């Protein structure tokens, strides 16, 4: 069944290669309506993807044949769909604002979710109003989150995105084990007014534990034993947080059924909640919950995450495009591409199927991007005229948060729409010749066009909308993972490097044994040692 659909899709892809994107609009004046989908004030336009109605129907048929709806329901029901780690996948329970029971091994997880959310809210409110004070009784002015990967990227991205709502202590983030990171963050901070949140699902991640130890020493240097009152933790490993000296009432837990890159909705979101307040954080959850409901309830052919996922499959597997760019025309989404890199590439950068056999088609693409308009003055040259076709995923709000700067926002929107139009239309040689005096220049001014894009528009980047955007992308990754028959919820590919780093550390410190390494690694160890001051 699926083979037949793939064959039909391959034929549809060959046809798409032969036709212009513009011709699809010529043949269907209503194309925008048919090739866009809405959820409330949010609209995803995919009419500038070179796909026609039969090919789209074949993709939806593929989603049906691959069991997207059944697997989606199994995820929401708490089945152990993360088979290689034998875990349920229930980040959706963290934002289940309907509070309907969600069972794992017969037990409802919602009371635990609500309990942590309640404790987070009480703690965040206490930090914000000063009733939970620093050791000298004054309010905390700064919060430093120490974490990496999923314990960093989500809160960093959301803190920047929700800056207009931030009225609490200032949030800072330290992730890299490079001492430059913690050094530069701490340089401007007063230990007497700083709260540290050590966020690590496992509480073993070497970068986080190294930074946490450094932070503790820095705080203890001026506060002595009182430094302990400047620490909180977010983790599933309560024994380890206790061993680090963090009081149990300052530890906010989560569960093994929340993957790191899906964890911003719970305790990992604590620094965001402190910055913007519990009410805004709950709006963020409510937005994600609205997208969850849509994903569960809308027919596949009108389902935003399903369609975005199927377009991803069309571009990756049928058209053979190796990457996709995420281009938010929203400066406050400047860390969204980095966040999506982990979400997408750690989830779907897989080479074997669920049963361990090699995949039969390409899986997760390379995800990258920058906010517009900055990217236009950097890498868009390649997007427009380079030899790779790069599907672009634009996003833009109808309104900014700066009513006095309306002209800026109008320019922003005009630029966003101009880019997708230029990518689609292109400019042929005849048109290029009209723009130059010297005909030799004309080929340099040709734009191939026919370059696909999607555009997500929304009223305003508020907490509710941010929740919808992130949940949209989470479910898109899920849909693609189901089509590819891979496990989107493990990340074994990050382990080998960690193991080798542990083994290399004694050699970096000057220990014996470099000769056991390959020639390049041994040579680099020697070169670095020779340069060491």
Query: Residues with catalytic annotation?
Result: 346, 377, 498
Distance, in Å, from the CA atom of 305 to the CA atom of 533, rounded to the nearest integer, reads 53
For the bound state, the minimum distance from the C-beta of residue 54 to ligand F6P, rounded and expressed in Å, comes to 39
Indicate if the alpha-carbon torsion angle 189, 190, 193, 194 is positive or negative.
positive
Residue of the chain from 13, 78, 150, 328 that contacts ligand F6P (CB under 6 A): 150
Do 366 and 404 meet the contact criterion of CB atoms below 8 Å apart?
Answer: no
Residue of the chain from 90, 127, 148, 273 that contacts ligand F6P (CB under 6 A): 148
Residue of the chain from 13, 78, 149, 467 that contacts ligand F6P (CB under 6 A): 149
Cβ neighbours around 166 below 10 Å, total:
17
Element (H, E) at 217: helix 206-223
Measured from the CB atom, is 348 or 373 closer to ligand F6P? 348
Residue with tokens 């920058």: 370
Within 338-377, the residues that bind ligand F6P by CB under 6 A are 346
For the bound state, the minimum distance from the C-beta of residue 495 to ligand F6P, rounded and expressed in Å, comes to 8
Cβ neighbours around 118 below 10 Å, total:
11
The sheet carrying 251-253 orders its strands as 170-174, 142-146, 194-199, 231-235, 251-253
SS3 of residue 336 by DSSP:
helix
**Per-residue 3-state assignment (H helix, E strand, C coil) for 144-205:** EEECCHHHCHHHHHHHHHCHHHCCCCEEEEECCCCHHHHHHHHHCCCHHHEEEEEECCCCCC
Decide: is 491 part of the binding site for ligand F6P (CB under 6 A): yes
Contact region for ligand F6P (CB under 6 A) — 126-134, 145-153, 427-435, 514-522?
Answer: 145-153
DSSP characters for 415-445? Answer: HHHHHHHHHHH-B-HHHHHTT-SSGGGGGGG
What is the chain's length?
A: 533
Write the CB contacts of 372 (distance below 8 Å, at least 6 apart in sequence). Answer: 327, 328, 329, 394, 412, 415, 416, 419
Binding mask 158-177 for ligand F6P (x = CB under 6 A): --------------------
Contact region for ligand F6P (CB under 6 A) — 146-154, 289-297, 387-395, 422-430?
Answer: 146-154
SS3 of residue 308 by DSSP:
helix
Contact region for ligand F6P (CB under 6 A) — 159-167, 201-209, 369-377, 389-397?
Answer: 201-209
Binding residues for ligand F6P, rule CB under 6 A, total 14
Measured from the CB atom, is 150 or 400 closer to ligand F6P? 150
Within 447-466, the residues that bind ligand F6P by CB under 6 A are none
Residue of the chain from 131, 202, 435, 516 that contacts ligand F6P (CB under 6 A): 202
Measured from the CB atom, is 159 or 450 closer to ligand F6P? 159
Measured from the CB atom, is 203 or 464 closer to ligand F6P? 203
Distance, in Å, from the CA atom of 467 to the CA atom of 95, rounded to the nearest integer, reads 9
Binding mask 251-290 for ligand F6P (x = CB under 6 A): ---------xx-----------------------------
For the bound state, the minimum distance from the C-beta of residue 242 to ligand F6P, rounded and expressed in Å, comes to 17
Binding mask 4-43 for ligand F6P (x = CB under 6 A): ----------------------------------------
Distance, in Å, from the CA atom of 232 to the CA atom of 245, rounded to the nearest integer, reads 10
Measured from the CB atom, is 145 or 194 closer to ligand F6P? 145
Cβ neighbours around 35 below 10 Å, total:
23
Within 215-234, the residues that bind ligand F6P by CB under 6 A are none
Contact region for ligand F6P (CB under 6 A) — 1-9, 194-202, 312-320, 351-359?
Answer: 194-202
Residue of the chain from 200, 419, 465, 488 that contacts ligand F6P (CB under 6 A): 200
Distance, in Å, from the CA atom of 522 to the CA atom of 512, rounded to the nearest integer, reads 11
For the bound state, the minimum distance from the C-beta of residue 234 to ligand F6P, rounded and expressed in Å, comes to 8
Chain positions contacting ligand F6P, by CB under 6 A: 148-151, 200-202, 205, 208, 260-261, 346, 491, 494
């Amino acid at each position: 069944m699926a083979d037949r659909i793939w064959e039909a899709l391959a034929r549809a892809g060959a046809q798409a290669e032969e036709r212009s994107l513009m011709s699809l609009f010529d043949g269907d004046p209503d194309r925008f309506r048919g090739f866009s989908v809405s959820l409330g004030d949010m609209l995803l336009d995919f009419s500038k993807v070179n796909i026609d109605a039969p090919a789209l129907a074949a993709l939806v048929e593929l989603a049906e044949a691959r069991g997207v709806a059944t697997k989606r329901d199994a995820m929401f029901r708490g089945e152990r769909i993360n088979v290689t780690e034998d875990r349920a996948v229930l980040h959706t329970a963290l934002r289940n604002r309907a509070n309907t029971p969600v069972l794992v091994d017969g037990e409802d997880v919602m009371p635990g979710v609500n309990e942590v959310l309640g404790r987070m809210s009480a703690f965040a409110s206490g930090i914000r109003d000063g009733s939970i004070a620093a050791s000298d009784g004054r309010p905390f002015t700064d919060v430093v989150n120490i974490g990496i990967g999923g314990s960093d990227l989500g809160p960093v991205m959301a803190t920047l995105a929700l800056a207009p709502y931030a009225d609490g202590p200032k949030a800072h983030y330290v992730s890299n084990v490079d001492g430059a990171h913690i050094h530069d963050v701490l340089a401007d901070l007063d230990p007497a007014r700083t709260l540290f949140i050590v966020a690590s699902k496992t509480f073993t991640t070497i970068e986080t534990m190294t930074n946490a130890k450094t932070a503790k020493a820095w705080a203890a240097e001026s506060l002595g034993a009182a430094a302990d009152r400047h620490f909180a933790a977010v983790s599933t490993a309560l024994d380890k947080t206790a061993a680090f000296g963090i009081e149990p009432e300052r530890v906010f837990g989560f569960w093994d059924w929340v993957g790191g890159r899906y964890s911003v909705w719970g305790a990992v979101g604590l620094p965001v909640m402190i910055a913007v307040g519990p009410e805004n954080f709950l709006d963020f959850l409510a937005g994600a919950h609205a997208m969850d409901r849509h994903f569960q309830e809308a027919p596949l052919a009108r389902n935003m995450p399903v369609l975005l996922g199927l377009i991803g499959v069309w571009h990756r597997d049928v058209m053979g495009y190796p990457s996709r760019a995420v281009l938010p025309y929203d400066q406050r989404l400047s860390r969204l591409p980095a966040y999506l890199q982990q979400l997408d590439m750690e989830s779907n950068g897989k080479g074997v199927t669920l049963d361990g056999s090699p995949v039969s088609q390409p899986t997760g693409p390379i995800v990258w991007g920058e906010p517009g308009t900055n990217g236009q003055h950097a890498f868009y040259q390649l997007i427009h005229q380079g030899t790779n076709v790069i599907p672009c995923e634009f996003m833009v709000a109808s309104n900014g948060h700066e009513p006095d700067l309306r002209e800026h926002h109008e320019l922003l929107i005009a630029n966003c729409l101009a880019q997708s139009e230029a990518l689609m239309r292109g400019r042929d040689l005849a048109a290029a010749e009209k723009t130059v005096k010297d005909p030799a220049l004309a080929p340099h001014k040709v734009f191939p066009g026919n370059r696909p894009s999607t555009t997500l528009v929304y009223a305003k980047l508020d907490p509710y909308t941010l929740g919808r955007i992130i949940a949209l992308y989470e479910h898109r990754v899920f849909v693609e993972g189901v089509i590819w028959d891979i496990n989107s919820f493990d990340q074994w590919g990050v382990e080998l490097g960690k193991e080798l780093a542990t083994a290399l550390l004694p050699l970096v410190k000057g220990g014996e044994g470099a000769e056991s390494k390959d020639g390049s690694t041994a040579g680099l160890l020697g070169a670095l040692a020779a340069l060491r001051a």
